Amino acid sequence: MTTGTMPSSRQRLLEAAATLTYRDGVNIGVDALCRAAGVSKRSMYQLFESKGELLAASLEEYASAYATALLPAADDNRPARERILHVFEQAEAQAGAPDFQGCRYLVVQIELKDPSHPASRVAHRVKENLTAFFRTEAEQGGASDPDLLARQLILVFDGASARAGIKADTRGGLITPTVAVLLDAAGMR
């Protein structure tokens, strides 16, 4: 029987922060984070300046996986319209998970309410990257106003995520048709 190496204290803290703040909110205490990670508070503060810095690092750690789960692959040669729809299909599939509580990056921004908080800055950048994806695809797809379409798409994305997170709309089949109407209105190919 082989045993894997135990993740570092830093990695355990990042994972605990991701899990507990998503499940319980960003106001989870340092004691609970350290207990879940099996790390002393002293060790946590040697690795991170504050709980806010730990949360920011945790969000940063998972940003790449978030984008990979939503966005089509770089070598995906489908038309821009289909690439945009892919994001919403992925989001709708994720929203069906029993433990889904909304987009973690949106949730952090809502809960913290402080745009200068380190975790808010990471979350804002991640959401801006998604908006930029929409804008680029809208431009490539011939949208009449790519900036407006990108803003509309992120509005639908965040609204759908928030509603799914609070279990207000559990039936599928609403997001993609809504996005298709926006794409049609913008003249997307």
pLDDT tens-digit series, residues 77-115: 999 999 999 999 999 999 888 899 999 999 999 999 999
Alpha-carbon dihedral of residues 79, 81, 83, 87, nearest 10 degrees?
-170
pLDDT tens-digit series, residues 148-189: 999 999 999 999 999 998 888 766 678 889 999 999 999 997
Q: How far is CA 84 from CA 21, 91, 175, in A?
A: 29, 11, 12
Question: What is d(CA 80, CA 82) in angstroms, rounded to the nearest whole number?
Answer: 5
The domain tally of the chain equals 1
The pLDDT, as a whole number, for residue 170 is: 62
Please report whether residue 66 resides in a domain. Answer: yes
Please report whether residue 145 resides in a domain. Answer: yes
Supply the CATH number for residue 126's domain.
1.10.357.10
pLDDT tens-digit series, residues 121-140: 999 999 999 999 999 999 99
Please report whether residue 119 resides in a domain. Answer: yes
Question: What is d(CA 144, CA 92) in angstroms, rounded to the nearest whole number?
Answer: 26
pLDDT tens-digit series, residues 46-79: 999 999 999 999 999 999 999 999 999 989 999 9
Please report whether residue 11 resides in a domain. Answer: no
Please report whether residue 136 resides in a domain. Answer: yes
Please report whether residue 86 resides in a domain. Answer: yes
Please report whether residue 40 resides in a domain. Answer: no
Range of the domain at 171: 59-185
pTM, entire model: 0.91
Please report whether residue 68 resides in a domain. Answer: yes
